[in-house]
């Protein structure tokens, strides 16, 4: 019997670690042999989707034998109308993560420079590495991404892409519209700003600059995962200049969107009253997290998202100990990955019962960590 040999991976693939940017709560539950009592780490909306979205997905489930519309026609047209844009300015995809992968594939190849913040959303970095790009990082300033430093590094490296999340994950901080617009106006020629606005619907008025679909140097990313509570459905979209949007058709997975996800997102978009209700619940939960932190001698960062960053007051080693102790007590939370931001833990907003569990277990976690 002849020897069986597998074909070699490409040199690029061989150079990459087989890793996942995030360890999911399910993997942690399997490892600890118990489910979490409060799931407050992945910035999901525990308040759930609109009942109208649930009903639409339930109805669409009976049609799951059919592929989803490869053009996401109805959803794309509805999103365009919602933003006062044209359908050719909208691309629907498998969450922002999927769209980031397509975007990087379009613009990045070995040797191409890309700029991001050190500690910013790691999935973007994962895609850049996967296509051989050279990633340049700048530090946060005052626990916020630093637009001036990002621009300076882009000029130094002749970067093709700059990644900025506003509001920011993992810190929850944000810049106002004027600051972001000034960054857009100062972009070097040939450089595209990837503006991740996953949390913008939860942010104060005046956070997002006006959408300009004529600017070929800006691509904005939005999602149904956060405020709309459809993280498991994987629906995101990009807003941009028509030629940039059209380029996605060259490489995207045309059957990546399921009928169920499309139907749920369309119904969620139409139910703005439910979104307003969720935003109020999130605001209340943010206040409760801040109150719990104060009761334990900790401070929180201002947040424009559905999570709150709690400064543990010491270094990353201590914050990681607090994290471990909360997880051991059935409270799933996460934390920033890079110093000095790793002095904090990040707690997603939740229901009253979730907040009660956090209030119950945080004092013990802090004592055990100390």
3-state secondary structure 158-172: CCCEEEEECCCCCCC
The reported pLDDT for the residue numbered 21 is 76
pLDDT at position 195: 98
List, as own/partner pairs, every contact residues 274-280 make where C-beta atoms lie below 8 angstroms and the sequence separation is at least 24, other chains included. Answer: 274/50, 274/51, 274/52, 275/50, 275/201, 275/227, 275/228, 278/45, 278/47, 278/227, 278/228, 278/229, 279/201, 279/202, 279/227
Under CATH, which number does the domain 23-48+273-369 receive?
3.90.1150.10
Which residue, 189, 139, 137, 146, is CA-closest to 165? 146
Q: What is the three-class DSSP state of 113?
A: strand
Determine the CATH number of domain 52-270.
3.40.640.10
The sign of the CA dihedral 300, 352, 206, 248 is: positive
**For position 305, what pLDDT does the model report?**
98
CA distances from 89 to 68, 83, 85, 92 (A): 20, 10, 6, 10
Q: Which two tokens stand for residue 328?
A: 């051991």
pLDDT score recorded for residue 1: 67
Q: Tens digit of pLDDT per residue, the chain (370 long)? A: 677 899 999 999 999 999 877 889 999 999 999 999 999 999 999 999 999 999 999 999 999 999 999 999 999 999 999 999 999 999 999 999 999 999 999 999 999 999 999 999 999 999 999 999 999 999 999 999 999 999 999 999 999 999 999 999 999 999 999 999 999 999 999 999 999 999 999 999 999 999 999 999 999 999 999 999 999 999 999 999 999 999 999 999 999 999 999 999 999 999 999 999 999 999 999 999 999 999 999 999 999 999 999 999 999 999 999 999 999 999 999 999 999 999 999 999 999 999 999 999 999 999 999 8
**Hey, what long-range contacts does 150-157 have (CB within 8 A, 24 or more apart)?**
150/115, 150/116, 150/117, 150/183, 151/183, 151/186, 151/187, 151/188, 153/115, 154/113, 154/115, 154/187, 154/188, 154/191, 155/188, 157/113, 157/115
Q: Under DSSP, is residue 266 helix (H, G, I), strand (E, B) or coil?
A: helix
Beta strands per DSSP E along the chain? 38-39, 90-93, 113-117, 134-138, 161-165, 192-196, 218-223, 236-240, 299-300, 307-311, 331-332, 344-348
pTM over 0.85: yes
CA 63 to chain centre: 30
- What distance lies between CA 100 and its chain's CA centroid? 11
Q: How far is CA 361 from CA 6, 175, 330, 338, 352, in A?
A: 50, 33, 9, 25, 14
Q: Give the residue extent of every domain in the chain.
A: 23-48+273-369, 52-270
Structure tokens, 119: 């500690």
What pLDDT does residue 20 have? 78
What's the pLDDT score for residue 23? 86
Cα 329 to Cα 299: distance, rounded to the nearest angstrom: 22
């Amino acid at each position: 019997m002849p020897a069986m040999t597998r074909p070699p991976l490409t040199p690029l693939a061989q150079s990459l670690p087989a890793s996942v940017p995030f360890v999911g709560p399910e993997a942690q539950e399997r490892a600890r042999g118990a489910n979490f009592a409060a799931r407050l780490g992945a910035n999901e909306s525990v308040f759930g989707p609109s009942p109208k979205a649930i009903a639409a997905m339930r109805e669409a489930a009976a049609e799951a034998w059919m592929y989803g519309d490869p053009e996401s026609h109805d959803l794309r047209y509805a999103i365009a109308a919602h933003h006062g844009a044209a359908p050719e300015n909208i691309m629907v995809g498998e969450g922002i993560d999927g769209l980031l992968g397509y975007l990087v594939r379009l613009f990045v190849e070995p040797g191409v420079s890309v700029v991001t913040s050190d500690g910013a959303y790691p999935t973007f970095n994962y895609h850049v590495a996967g296509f051989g790009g050279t990633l340049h990082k700048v530090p946060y300033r005052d626990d916020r991404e630093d637009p001036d430093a990002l621009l300076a590094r882009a000029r130094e490296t002749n970067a093709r892409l700059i990644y900025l999340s506003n509001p920011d994950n993992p810190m929850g901080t944000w810049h106002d519209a004027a600051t972001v617009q000034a960054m857009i106006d100062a972009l070097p020629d040939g450089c595209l700003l990837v503006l991740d606005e996953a949390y913008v619907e939860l942010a104060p008025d005046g956070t997002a600059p006006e959408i300009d679909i004529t600017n070929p140097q800006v691509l904005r990313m939005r999602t149904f995962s956060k405020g709309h509570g459809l993280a498991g459905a994987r629906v995101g979209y990009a807003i941009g200049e028509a030629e940039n949007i059209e380029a996605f058709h060259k490489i995207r997975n045309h059957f990546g969107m399921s009928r169920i996800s499309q139907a749920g997102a369309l119904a969620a978009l139409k139910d703005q009253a439910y979104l307003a209700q969720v935003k109020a619940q999130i605001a209340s939960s943010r206040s409760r997290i801040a109150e719990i932190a104060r009761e334990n001698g900790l401070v929180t960062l201002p947040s424009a998202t559905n999570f709150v960053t709690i400064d543990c007051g010491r270094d990353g080693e201590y914050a990681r100990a607090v994290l471990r102790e909360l997880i051991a007590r059935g409270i799933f939370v996460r934390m920033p990955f890079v110093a000095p931001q790793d002095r904090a833990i990040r707690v997603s907003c939740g229901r009253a019962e979730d907040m009660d569990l956090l209030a119950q277990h945080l004092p013990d976690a802090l004592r055990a960590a100390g």
